[in-house]
Amino acid sequence: MITHSSYGVDPWTLRENELHLDLLPQSESVFALSNGHVGWRGNLDEGEPHGLPGSYLNGVHEVHPLPYAEAGYGYPESGQTVINVTNGKLVRLLVDDEPFDLRYGRLRSHERVLDLRTGLLTRTCEWTSPAGSTVRVRSTRLVSFTQRAIAAVAYEVEAVDGRVRVVVQSELVANEQLPGRDGDPRAAIALESPLRAEEHFAAGRRLRLVHRTSESGLRVAAAADHAVVGPGGTVTSSESSDDVARLTVTSVLTPGQRLRLEKFVSYGWSATRSLPAVRDQVDAALAAAEHGGWQALVDEQRAYLDDFWERADVEVEGDEEIQQAVRFALFHVLQAGARAEQRAIPAKGLTGSGYDGHAFWDTETFVLPLLTYTSPGAVAEALRWRQNTLPAARERAAQLGLGGAAFPWRTIAGSEGSAYWPAGTAAFHVNADIADAVVRYTTVTGDEAFERDTGVELLVETARLWRSLGHHDYQGKFHIDGVTGPDEYSAVADDNTYTNLMARANLLAAADVVDRHPARAAELGVDEEESAAWRDAADAMHVPYNHELRVHEQHAGFTRYQRWDFAATRPDQYPLMLHFPYFDIYRKQVVKQADLVLAMYKCSPYFDEEHKARNFAYYEPLTVRDSSLSACCQAVIAAEAGHPGLAYDYLVEAALMDLEDLEHNTRDGLHIASLAGTWTALVAGFGGLRHHGDTLEFAPRLPERFSRLAFSLELLGRRLRVEIEPDAATYTLATGDPLEIRHHREPYTVDGDKPHRLAIPAPRLRPAPDQPPHRRPNRQG
């Protein structure tokens, strides 16, 4: 999309200067607004035309039976799907009795701008009706970061060249008709009319609807109030029914006169609270928003984002596209998690219903690292959500005959939502991903209360699973067999390297944390024998290695498999999972997404420089990147292994995943993990950030396209500013006590007295490895 003529490149905005209906579904995703609790897709104010209507509340879902051709013990029984809740952003317009519909009449101009500094989506258009009346419409929309239940719209109509009668209809609408599925298994299941009416209300300028989901039993309320400013004779009326509440504003405008409507919308939901309680909740939220009014919401939004950008901005000089893309990515990752507050961060955030609105391991592995260094409060809340789901995870582990907790591969409410058991049952690495996020958060923040109250329990229960899932062989080696790693083209394999190394770290972290918190450990029934067993398993963890090829195996025996016939695979046969049986894919050397390569990044100390280079060269020709999670990981290791040009190409792919709709499913919502991966590719790739234990390392090197890269990290009460140029890196401690770092393996102490400018050694460049035919990075620099 960003290369389309209607989109421009700007460092702080995403601007669409004309409307193209064929891009409408994608634009609704990229212009979506959210705060992690409430999400509004970037639909046109009038509701039509649209690609996918979307108003979401984090956690609000419906359940439905999972289909199985044959029954089997341990299969999850029900799936969960995010639902489109009451639409509060609708503002319809009639001009001299003609609907304001951009498919009719003449659209003279149309511009939408998402301002990443203010968090506002603005729209300006001029339209002439089929009858010849011309109006100018301006709208501004926000979803508040500071008042998490509130979203708002300011809508203004101006007469341009003659007297016009206008009618503005501000609505709350439930059970909107959704488009049908298109056969893509990644698209959400569209549940028809999931909301059952409980109450409707309209009086004066106040509207309210209360519904309840039929199966999951969640009560959802939406309320709206309005401020109206117009010429004399402007009148209002209101009405409501089960699924619609409407305020109608009628006015006559002469050229230059304007009618302005400010609409405040509040949302609330609960699985347990009564109808009166939820009603009062949304009314109170409205009262708080109206107390300050529209301008206060705008000012609070700007102040919130000023603070965010101060600590989180990434500056890129020499590449305008990447500069815009990384800020777009940071903004949307913030929107996905800022106010989720003990709810999941879904793979699509709240920008669309793709993947049924589920959260995966993506959150802990890709999204939380970025937020840990920029918005750590959101990370603590996301991990508390995992803690809240422990009862379901323990129950799942027991069902599978295992100890501890088995966290779900995909879920909304905490139970496993995948009907595909090689992933849903065997992808146990999600446990270690959660543990890794816990360790990183506590290391970066020093939050001892969180570690005691939340971290200990998560680390203990995940470690218990590994100890029960794995076993010692006759030589004492510890194996974890029959699991599915990050690469979904290899399933139910023995000793997946990523899983084993991450489980090893999980076991050691659990043993360490119970030593630090013995009282909490005792509450959880941990004794010295159990802790010692974790350490024994970690010390004996087997990692498969092919001594002839001198490369680590993705899993035991992987390198002896037959290679996939890439030469016989047509470009239109990717992704492979939609054109070939899994049975065939599982038996071949072909990699959907970085797996062993991801292990080299996440478990970097385990691999030396030469092994990283050889492993990367071996797996690169096998990796087809049929997943949006792959490019950023490949960018990191490509940069480390001496392939800066290839690393840049993968950065571009991760950064423009949605802005260029590279996987052709941006219409269903943004790829939040790939957006977070843009930060990873820049900061961990070209910045060389590695943080393991007390060691904070940087090995910065820029690609040719960049003249400067700068970013900040928040850790242990400090703010470290890193500025990288082609020949040197400058480290500045903006706040806090002196900090020990390593720069290209050499130790330095950074203090607040002055910036520390350190030379960057010449890189060791290696011949670029090949990629599978037709699977080179989508755009090369």
DSSP 384-400: HHHHHTHHHHHHHHHHT
Number of C-beta neighbours around residue 387 at 10 A: 18
Number of C-beta neighbours around residue 604 at 10 A: 17
The pair of structure tokens assigned to 195 is 């909301």
Alpha-carbon span 688 to 694, nearest angstrom = 16
The pair of structure tokens assigned to 361 is 């391991």
SS3 of 98, please?
strand
**Residue positions annotated with a catalytic role:** 488
The pair of structure tokens assigned to 745 is 């393996």
SS3 of 207, please?
strand
Contact status, residue 115 vs residue 97, Cβ threshold 8 Å: no
The pair of structure tokens assigned to 392 is 């379901």
Closest CA to 76 of 64, 84, 88: 64
Alpha-carbon span 518 to 456, nearest angstrom = 10
Closest CA to 728 of 691, 768, 700: 700
SS3 of 732, please?
strand
Alpha-carbon span 529 to 509, nearest angstrom = 16
DSSP 449-462: HHIIIIIHHHHHHH
**Cβ neighbours of residue 398 under 8 Å, at least 6 residues apart?**
none
The pair of structure tokens assigned to 426 is 């065997």
DSSP H/E element including 189: none
Alpha-carbon span 488 to 422, nearest angstrom = 9
Q: What's the CA dihedral at 647, 648, 654, 658 to 10 degrees?
A: -160
State the angle between helix axes of 390-399 and 456-469 in degrees (0 to 180), rounded to the nearest 10: 10
Backbone angles phi, psi at 673, to 5 degrees: -65, -40
Closest CA to 94 of 229, 246, 209, 223: 246
Alpha-carbon span 598 to 357, nearest angstrom = 25
115: β partners: 13, 120
> Identity (one letter) of the amino acid at 394?
R
Length of the chain: 781
| Terminal alpha carbon distance of the chain | 18
Closest CA to 386 of 404, 423, 413: 413
Contact status, residue 80 vs residue 87, Cβ threshold 8 Å: no
> Identity (one letter) of the amino acid at 553?
E
